[in-house]
Amino acid sequence: MPSLNKNMNVSHTKFRPKQTLGQNFLLDENICRKITQAIAPGADDTIVEIGPGFGALTGDLLDSGARVIAVEIDRRLTAKLRQEFAGNDNFKLIENDFLKVDLQELQRGKQKLRIVGNIPYHITSPVMFKIFAVCHLVSDLTLMIQKEVAERIVAVPRTKAYGILSVFSQLYSEPKILFQVSRNVFKPRPDVESAVVKWDLTAARKFKITDEQLLRDIIKRSFNQRRKMLRKSLQQLPDFKEKIPALNFGLERRPEELTIDEFVDLSNQLASA
């Protein structure tokens, strides 16, 4: 990967990260190279990079020939990024909060977007849910996230880590932890270890879902009260009590006991009852 421009190197030594934005900049070229190799971008790809920061990963992505759309919220950084990558015809910069960006506007034709980023850890869930809501637009998502959260994403039923992130991730994609990352490769140094996770939305199992909004509601309600049996945690669903006699489902179980198939089955039975 091309090393950072000398001016960029000088800039990041003087730059004061904003705690409100959760900024921890990845500056290690070897890690950037590993991420790019894992993504294996092609010249025909459109890659949306969340929070490029000083562009440590951006340069590698651009070298692949892919169209790179960088979304950066910090105005102090957008000026530096424009200067650094102004000569690249395949580079576009959007100064905005990624959570407010309309991904459909970034899509070219029918080709799906590829999304990558070293994101503030406090927005991991919002970013995931934003992508899952428009999963038909995205082929894969690769993020640097907190290691503990990464372990939840790939967790299996009947384990402590299994929860709402596990279920949604495995419902809409095939998630995989690619590799772990030491806290020492960031500036400033975070308090936690990190991991790079890839969600492959093209490899996801295709579930037959009668009412997708109902399914999402069931998952969220059940895990919001994960210590309670489903019979209790789902009481506030419309007409739930009236539909119970028509269900062929064990409602005395807790959400961490259910597989993805079982959540879908419960949702479909309620939708049809």
Report how far residue 84's alpha carbon sits from residue 128's, in angstroms, rounded to the nearest whole number: 29
| Three-state DSSP state, 101 | coil
Q: How far apart are CA 25 and CA 247, in angstroms?
A: 51
- Predicted TM-score (pTM) of the model is 0.88
Instruction: Name 68's bridge partners.
Output: 47, 91
Pairing of strands 91-95, 113-118: unpaired
Domains of the chain (ranges; CATH) run 6-200 (3.40.50.150), 212-272 (1.10.8.100)
Please list, residue by residue across 149-174, b when 16 or more beta carbons sit within 10 angstroms of its beta carbon and e when fewer do: bbbbbbbeeeeebbbbbbbbbbbbbb
CA distance from start to end of the chain = 57
- In the prediction, which pLDDT does 61 show? 96
Task: Please give the sequence-ordered ranges of beta strands (E in DSSP) within 89-241, or none if there are none.
Answer: 91-95, 113-118, 138-146, 174-181, 186-187, 194-200
Digit-by-digit pLDDT tens for the chain (273 residues) are 233 333 344 355 565 645 555 557 677 888 999 999 999 999 999 999 999 988 889 999 999 999 999 999 888 889 889 999 988 999 999 999 999 999 999 998 889 999 999 888 889 999 999 999 999 999 999 999 999 999 999 999 999 999 999 999 999 999 999 999 988 877 777 778 999 999 999 988 889 999 999 999 999 999 999 999 999 999 999 999 999 999 999 999 999 999 999 999 999 999 999
What distance in Å separates the CA atoms of residue 52 and residue 59, rounded to the nearest whole number?
A: 10
Rounded to whole angstroms, the Cα distance separating 84 from 211 reads 47
Nearest CA-CA partner of 58 in 22, 4, 106: 4
